[in-house]
Every structure is written in structure tokens, then in C-alpha cells.
Chains A and B, each alone.
Chain A
Amino acid sequence: AQSVTQLDSQVPVFEEAPVELRCNYSSSVSVYLFWYVQYPNQGLQLLLKYLSGSTLVESINGFEAEFNKSQTSFHLRKPSVHISDTAEYFCAVSEIAAGNKLTFGGGTRVLVKP
């Protein structure tokens, strides 16, 4: 069975500083990897995903994540955060053979301070 661990439950960061959110997964088969973002009182939105090819994937709002198969990690980074990045971020994994089910990590709450 697949599982996802997000090591940090909360990450406070100052505006314009860099941030890294850690995600490690466990699976016996190949996986697809996702990062979702949840703004206050809203549903989850896809931020970016890794399916195949280049191990570095980017979002339109400056986030990037790198798939590292040997370390079974998919850490999310942004070089300079904005106040509007305050949200909860969820890493998720889907086993390719299983097809449909997403397993989510516990989430990391990012609080951007001015």
C-alpha cells in the first residue's frame, strides 16, 4: 500500500523568503505524484504534478517540485513567497497500476509573514 509523509505540519516564512515543503512517499510500484493547495475555506486545487519525463516540474505561480526516485521524495519549493501563498499544501501519490486512488499526506500549513 502507498503512503505519503509530509514532515512539517507548519512552516512559518517571511515574505520574499524561500520555502521548501518536504514530501516522502512509500510504494512498491511506480507512482504519479501531485501537490495540491488549499486556501482558507476552499477546496483543494492542483498545483503541479509529475507523471513522467523531466523530474523537475513547475507551476504557473512560481512553485517547483523535483521527483527523486532514489530518495522517494517530491519536495516543493518556491524561491520567493508572497502573502497570497499562505495556505495548506498537500502532497499526494497515485500508484500507476492502481489507476485511480490518490493518497494524501497530512498537509503542511504555510504562513507567510510580512
Chain B
Amino acid sequence: DAGVIQSPRHEVTEMGQEVTLRCKPISGHNSLFWYRQTMMRGLELLIYFNNNVPIDDSGMPEDRFSAKMPNASFSTLKIQPSEPRDSAVYFCASRSPGQGATDTQYFGPGTRLTVL
């Protein structure tokens, strides 16, 4: 299995531009998580989906952030307009169906976003 795939691996953009991050979960996994990692705030859960449905988006910073999961094999995290404070590494993780909290989350390699 290829694991969780994220693209792009690096993104540099200018303030005000739209940014779209992509994630392909592991085949057969039915839960998907988006995290943001910064030096100041550590790892934060932004949103997660079960069976393509958003369950908890309380971690999404503000209306500039949106996430979608149109099918079981693809999710996007969009920032519009982007701001320098959005610079961070964004991770996607997926988990297999099973016992919920007991199952392991598998992380992708991350997308390093720099907003100038």
C-alpha cells in the first residue's frame, strides 16, 4: 500500500492567493483527518470526516478555511485568501473502520505551506 498521499509536498504562495491541499487516504479507510503543525501551536486537529461526512470542524481557524471529501479516496483543504500566519505543515491522516478511538491513524508526509 502506498500509504496516505498528500500533494503538493511544498507550496509557496503570496498573501491573498487561494491554496488547495490534497489528500488521498489509504484504500479502505473510512476516517480522514486534517492537522496543522506550527512551532507556536504544535499539532492541531482542523477537521475530520467519517464516511465522507464532516464530523467535527471546530478546529478550523476561520471562514477562510474549508475542507471537502467528495468521495472515499480524495479530500481537499482550501485556504482563501491565504495569509502569512497560515504558514505551517499540514498533515492528512486516515484510519480504518473498526473500534473508533482504538485504531491507529496513519499520517501522510505533509504539505509545507509558506505564505509570503
Contacts and interface: CB of A to CB of B under 8 A. Distances in A.
Interface string A8-23: 0000000000000000
A44 B92 CA distance: 10
Interface class of chain A by DSSP: loop
Interface in B42-68: 42-43, 45, 48, 50, 55-56
A100 B42 contact: no
A42 interface: yes
Contact of B101 (A36, A44, A98, A106): A98
A95 B42 contact: no
Given A51-B102, A100-B100, A45 B42 contact: no
Nearest to A32: B101
Contacts of B105: 46, 102
Interface class of chain B by DSSP: strand
Interface string B14-55: 000000000000000001010000000011010010100001
B4 interface: yes
Q: Which of A44, A45, A94, A98 has the most CB of B within 10 A?
A: A44
Given A101-B45, A104-B43, A49 B101 contact: no
Interface in A86-114: 90, 94-96, 98-107
A53 interface: no
Interface of A: 32, 36, 41-46, 49, 51, 90, 94-96, 98-107
